[in-house]
Amino acid sequence: MKKTFATILLGLVLAGPLSAGEAIEVNGQRLELKAQARACYLGFVELYDVDYFRDTAGPVSCVRLSYLRDIEAATLDEATRKVFEERHGGEFVNRYRAELEQVGKAYRPVGPGDQYLYCVGADGAGSLLRDNAPVVQLASSDFARRFLQIWVKADDPADAPQWGFGRC
């Protein structure tokens, strides 16, 4: 677990600031920036920018959220649970209650410039980092994949992702 976080962190530090067309390295795999979008509430309240990275030859993918406004930790937790339930139903919220609580407890308030990075590795496990610092490791591959679907509902390697959030 610590090795995975350390490898992701090292890859991010070495990669430096990113822009369209660039990539990050996660656990020795290069992930290409595949798509970008801006998430908005009600179509005009800007929340965060999303960068979606994917391994072109494998299952590794990451979303990086760059926040544009202040949001309390409790609001992040509530929104995560709500969207997870909308996406997957109450049965999966009950099944993954412990994992959702783990993520909710790890959230901290965010402000403009703060970032969360969430990756699903080749082993199917999920890793959440806050401003390049490890926060949570999620061992369940099914939960890790479903958690990613909060932002990326579906992804066809040959096409743009289907976003799971309202855009501006």
pLDDT in tens, 108-120: 999 999 999 999 9
Amino acid letter at 42?
L
Query: For the chain, what is the mean pLDDT?
Result: 88
- What's the maximum distance between 2 C-alpha atoms anywhere in the chain? 41
Per-residue pLDDT tens digits for 18-32: 455 689 988 788 899
Q: Rounded distance, CA 31 to CA 53, Å?
A: 5
Q: Which two tokens stand for residue 31?
A: 């992930």
pLDDT at 7 over 80: no
Query: 7-40 b/e with 16+ CB inside 10 Å = b?
Result: bbbebbeeeeebeeeebbbbbebebebbbebebb
DSSP string, 51-91: EEEE-TTSS-EEEEEEE-S-B-HHHHHHHHHHHHHHHH-HH
d(CA 72, CA 69): 10
Instruction: Please tell me the CATH code under which domain 2-163 is placed.
Output: 3.50.70.10
Instruction: Please tell me the pTM assigned to this model.
Output: 0.85
Q: Where are the chain's structural domains? A: 2-163
Using alpha carbons, select from 104, 158, 97 the residue that is nearest to residue 136: 104
Task: Report how far Cα 165 is from the mean position of its chain's Cα atoms.
Answer: 12
